[in-house]
């Protein structure tokens, strides 16, 4: 196998990339990186695997690439993909890209920050979150959910139009994350909840496969351990 995907199922873009590869039947070697054990923090990892010491990333023979969105574009070219997940049509692709760029400082940043401040850092440090700070992070996350509900899904069943795309996968994988911290994004948001179900259906069985650990942890209502 020439293509290796390095990932952790507790990383949102790792799940998105895993699902994208499976849906597109791109053969790859699945290389699990257990972030919870800190294996990515060594100098050896930095030199041999990924200079940014994060997941996900790929090695395609000698070529090393990080950044999940850059990776899906690279794979779309290398495997000559042209389907609903990442269309070649210039305007359709631009609409998928528009979400993939927007998400970084919205869905990605705010769901991850809430998850880290509410659940991950307290678990790692033993210190509870500062309530006012946490409220600010929750407000930002909720504002993002509102933008998805009221802007992105205003007129279409999926983020980039009438067809599902990799944009929906990236968004859904981020929005599932705060469930580990006990926050249920579906609650009180019927439009977002119905869209999440549609994305899951379109991306299954791989969506459920990538979310197995997360779903188990979410069942513990914010009390799961690493």
Binding residues for a second copy (CB under 8 A): 51-52, 63, 65-71, 73-74, 77-78, 90-91, 93-95, 97-98, 100-102, 104-105, 108-109, 151
Closest approach of Cβ 100 to a second copy, in Å? 7
Closest approach of Cβ 32 to a second copy, in Å? 22
User: What is d(CA 134, CA 176) in angstroms, rounded to the nearest whole number?
Assistant: 18
Closest approach of Cβ 217 to a second copy, in Å? 24
User: What is d(CA 204, CA 223) in angstroms, rounded to the nearest whole number?
Assistant: 27
Closest approach of Cβ 151 to a second copy, in Å? 6
SS3 5: strand
Indicate the residue among 145 and 217 with the shorter CB distance to a second copy: 145
Note whether 54 and 3 are within 8 A (CB). Answer: no
Indicate the residue among 62 and 223 with the shorter CB distance to a second copy: 62
Indicate the residue among 72 and 217 with the shorter CB distance to a second copy: 72
Note whether 216 and 10 are within 8 A (CB). Answer: no
SS3 169: helix
Indicate the residue among 2 and 215 with the shorter CB distance to a second copy: 2
SS3 85: coil
Closest approach of Cβ 223 to a second copy, in Å? 29
What DSSP line would sit under 17-69, residue for residue?
A: HHHHHHHTT---EEEE--GGGTGGGSHHHHHHT-TT--S-EEEETTEEEE-HH
Indicate the residue among 40 and 108 with the shorter CB distance to a second copy: 108
């Amino acid at each position: 196998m020439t293509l290796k995907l390095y990932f952790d199922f507790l990383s949102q873009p790792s799940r998105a990339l895993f699902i994208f590869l499976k849906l597109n039947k791109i053969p790859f070697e699945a290389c699990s990186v257990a972030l919870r054990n800190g294996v990515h923090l060594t100098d050896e990892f930095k030199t041999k695997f990924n200079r940014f010491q994060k997941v996900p990333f790929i090695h395609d023979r000698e070529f090393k690439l990080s950044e999940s969105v850059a990776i899906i574009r690279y794979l779309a070219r290398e495997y000559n993909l042209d389907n609903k997940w990442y269309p070649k049509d210039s305007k359709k692709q631009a609409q998928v890209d528009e979400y993939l760029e927007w998400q970084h400082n919205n869905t990605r940043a705010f769901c991850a920050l809430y998850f880290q401040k509410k659940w991950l850092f307290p678990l790692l440090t033993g210190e509870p979150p500062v309530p006012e700070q946490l409220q600010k992070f929750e407000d930002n996350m909720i504002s993002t959910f509102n933008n998805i509900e009221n802007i992105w899904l205003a007129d279409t069943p999926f983020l980039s139009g009438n067809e599902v795309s990799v944009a929906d996968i990236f968004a859904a994988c981020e929005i599932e994350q705060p469930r580990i911290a006990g926050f249920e994004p579906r609650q009180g948001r019927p439009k977002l909840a119905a869209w999440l179900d549609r994305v899951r259906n379109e991306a299954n069985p791989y969506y459920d496969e990538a979310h197995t650990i997360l779903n188990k942890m979410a069942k513990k209502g914010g009390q799961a351990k690493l």
